[in-house]
Amino acid sequence: MLDHRVRDFMILIGHTWICTNCRDRLLTDLDTMLIGHKLSDDERERLVALSDESFRTMMDLAEATGLSMDDLRLAIDHPRSRLRHLGVDRRR
């Protein structure tokens, strides 16, 4: 289950499941999309390994990210996953 504070990794995964534009940007320009996000080395490695095939089904995505299906569902439904697109300048 998710901790009190949802990790940035989970928000990235939840949002890219919902938003195909951000998913495409994540897959093609990962370094730019990750600016400002706190990620472990393992989480970064998992993001680097993602491909279009990783997003075919929720089961594929859970396997590619190492998240349980319950955690993946919670990440997708989390308000922060729906709040804003990735790579948006937050200092405006």
Rounded to the nearest integer, the mean pLDDT of the chain is: 87
Going by pLDDT thresholds of 50, 70 and 90, the confidence category of residue 33 is confident
Q: Smallest Cα–Cα separation from 12: which of 84, 92, 90?
A: 84
The pLDDT assigned to 80 comes to 84
Domain ranges of the chain: 8-82
Report the pLDDT averaged over residues 38-63. 96
Instruction: Name the token pair of 56.
Output: 């075919």
3-7, 36-40, 68-72: segment of lowest average pLDDT: 3-7
Where does residue 81 rank: exposed (0-12), middle (13-18), buried (19+ CB within 10 A)? buried
- Cα separation, 78 vs 30, whole angstroms: 22
Q: Under a CB-based contact definition with an 8 Å cutoff, are residues 82 and 19 in contact?
A: no
Going by pLDDT thresholds of 50, 70 and 90, the confidence category of residue 87 is low
- Cα separation, 34 vs 16, whole angstroms: 12
Instruction: List pLDDT tens digits, range 15-25.
Output: 999 999 999 99
* Global model pTM greater than 0.95: no
